[in-house]
Amino acid sequence: MVFRGRSQTAATTASEPARDRDSLVDELAAALVGADAVSPADLAIARGADPHTEAELVSLLFKTERRGANRASIMSTWATLHGLEVIDLRQVAPDESTVALIDERTCRNLKCLPLRQENGAVHVVLSDPSRKHRAAVTTHFTTPVTFSVALEQEISSTLDRMYRADAEIDALSKAFEASDSTQALLAAAQQTDDDDAPVVQIANRIIAQGLRDRASDVHVEPMNDHIRVRFRIDGNMVDTFTLPLSAHAALVSRYKILGGMNIVERRRPQDGQFSMTVDGRDMDVRVSSLATVFGEKVVMRLLDKSRAALELRQLGMPVATYEEWARLIHAPFGMVICAGPTGAGKTTTLYATLRAINSGGKNVMTIEDPVEYVFPGINQIQTNEQAGLTFAQGLKAILRQDPDVILVGEVRDADTARIAVQSALTGHLVLSSLHGTDSVAALHRMLDMGIESFLIASSVVAVIGQRLLRRICDACKEPYEPGPEEMAVWHREGRNPKSQFWRGAGCTFCAGTGFRDRIGVYELLRVTPELRRLIVGWATQEELRRLAVSQGMRTLVEEALTLVENDVTTIAEVVRTLYAA
C-alpha cells in the first residue's frame, strides 16, 4: 500500500509552533463540524465534559455513539488536520522485523504499530495524530519516523495477531512433561504470588489469548491423552492448542483457586469468579468446573468490563422493528419477553432495553445470574442459591421495594414465571428472557410451565425472538457462486433474484473463518387482541405464527435472508443458525 500525505518526521514535529491545549481542541472541534463528521449536538455534549486534549475530545465523541458520531469520519478529519492519512490496517501486512523494533508493551501503551521501513525512516501507524503523541512515539526510535493514522481497534487487533499470548505455551508445557512430581506442580499452582511458575503463566496466557481473540468462552477439556483448549468465537468453537495431560491437575487447580473454589472436591460441579487485567482492560471471569470421564473440564466465560453495553439502536434491528420495540417497552405495565436459545444475545438485548427506559423518575430493579454489567442508577441483584436468594425469592423481595421496572434475568421455572406474570398484572413493567426457539414458542413454553393461558394473554405485551448471525469479514470479502443447496433455500423462501453473492475468503483478521463479529436477527411478536383470543383457546404454535405473520410480523428467516440481500452474511450461515426455525 502506498502511504500518501505529508510525512511527519521527528524534526518536523519538533519545529511545529506550540499551541495551547484549548486552541487545539477548538480547532479540532471546528474541523469536525465543518466536515460533517459530527453533529453540533454531539459536539456540545462532548465539550460539556471539558476535554483538555484532542484525544480526550475524540474519546468523548466515540463514547457518545450517537448517529452523528461516525468514528471513521472523525479519525479522517483529525488526521487531515495534522496532514496525515488514515489507512486501513485490514489491507496492510506489517513487517515483522519492523514491528520488533519496539516491545509489545510500548506499542500497546502508545497505541501505535511500526509497519515498515522505507527510505531510511520507520513508518508508524497510530491512533492519536496529535503533535504531543507523535513526539512521544518518536523518542522510541533512533531513525526518522513517518506517521499514518488508523482506528485504535484496528491497531489493537493487529497487535493481537502479531503478539500472541500463546506463543510460548509449547515451551512452558515442556515443564510439565519434564516434571515427575504431580505434587510439585499442584503446589506451584497454589502459589498466588509466583507469576513465573509455568502453570501460572499458561493459565494467564490462555485467558489473555481468549480475550485478544474475542472469545466469549474458554474451554479447557481433558481428553484421553492430552488437554484440548478451545475458544468460542462469534458463536463457533475453535480449536486453539493442546497441552500435555500431565498439566491437567495443576491447571484446573489454578483456575479453581483463582475462582475461590474447592480444589479438593473433584466430583461435584462448582462455580466461581475472579477478575484480572489483560492489555490494560479489566475483565471478569466466571469459572465452571464439571467432572467428565477423563477428568474435570473447566469452562470460563470472559466478560470484558471495558466494552460498554450497547444501546438499543446499535443492536442491528430493522428500523420498523426498532421503532415498534422502542414504543412497546415504554408501556406502563405488562410483560416483555426476549426469547432465544443460549448464546443468542438475549442479555445484550435486555440490557440495551433497560438503558433505553431507565430514567431518574423510575425505580428500576433487576434480579440476575450473573450480573454481567453494572449500570449506574439501577438496583441490580445477584442470585445466591446457597443463601436462599433464587429468582423466585428475589422477585418476591423486589415487589416489596416499590419498583416501576423489573428485569428478571431468566425465567427458568414455574414459580418465577408465575410471580413475573402477577407482577406484570399488578402495574409493573417486567422484562425477562426465556429459552425458546422463537417468539411464538416462548408463549407455549410458558403454557408448558403451567401458567394459565388467560394470565399469559393478559400480561404479555410483546415477545421478541432473536438469533446472532456471523458477519462477513470486510477484510477478505469476495464474490462467489452459491451451491445448488444454498440457491434452493433462497428460491424456496421466495426471495428476489440476486446477481451477486458475497462471502469471506478467510484472512488473518478473521482467523481464516471468513466472518468477523455478529449481528442480531429479530422477529417481533405483538400480542394483539386477536392473538390473545387464540392464546386463551390454546391454539397451536402454527396457528399463532400464521396470525402473527398476517398481522405484519417478519420471521427470523425473512430478516436473516434480508441480511444476505444486503451482503452482511451468507445463505450457509443462515441455514446453519436458524433455518430450522
* Sign of the dihedral through C-alpha 378, 384, 389, 390: positive
> What are φ and ψ of residue 397, in 5° steps?
-65, -40
Type and span of the H or E element at 349:
helix 346-357
What pLDDT was estimated at residue 166? 62
Measured CA to CA, the distance from residue 444 to residue 451 in angstroms comes to 10
Contacts of 42 (CB under 8 A, 6+ apart): 61, 64, 66, 68, 69
Q: Would you call the peptide bond into 370 cis, given omega within 30 degrees of 0 as the criterion?
A: yes
Q: What is the DSSP letter of 70?
A: -
* Residue 136 DSSP one-character state: H
Q: What contacts 291, CB < 8 A, 6 or more positions away?
A: 266, 267, 268, 269, 297
Tell me the β-bridge partners of 525: 463
What is the C-alpha separation between 66 and 74, in angstroms, rounded?
A: 13
Grid coordinates belonging to 282: 479489566
pLDDT of residue 255: 94
pTM: predicted TM-score of the whole model, two decimal places: 0.74
- With vertex at residue 118, the alpha carbon angle to CA 115 and CA 119, rounded to the nearest 5 degrees, is 155
**What pLDDT does 22 receive?**
60
Give me the DSSP letters along 371-432: --S--TT-EEEE-BGGGTB-HHHHHHHHHTT--SEEEES---SHHHHHHHHHHHHTT-EEEE
CB 152 within 8 Å of CB 63: no
- Does the domain at 312-470+518-553 match CATH 3.40.50.2020? Answer given as no
Name the architecture of domain 10-150.
2-Layer Sandwich (3.30)
From the number of C-beta atoms within 10 Å of its C-beta (0-12, 13-18, 19+), residue 360 rates as exposed
CB 298 within 8 A of CB 255: yes
C-alpha cell at 9: 518526521
Question: Phi-psi bin for 377: left (phi > 0), alpha (psi -120 to 50), beta?
Answer: left
Q: Report which of 418, 421, 448 is spatially closest to residue 435, judged by C-alpha positions.
A: 448
Q: What is the CATH number of domain 169-304?
A: 3.30.450.90
What parts of the chain have a pLDDT lower than 50?
1-20, 65-69, 180-181, 581
- Give residues with Cβ within 8 angstroms of 529, minimum separation 6: none
Domain boundaries, the chain: 10-150, 169-304, 312-470+518-553
Give CA–CA dist 565/497, Å, rounded: 10
Nearest to 247 by CA among 205, 303, 300, 211: 205
Residue whose C-alpha cell reads 445466591 in the numeric block? 384
What's the full length of the chain, in residues?
Answer: 581
Beta partners for residue 222, in sequence order: 227
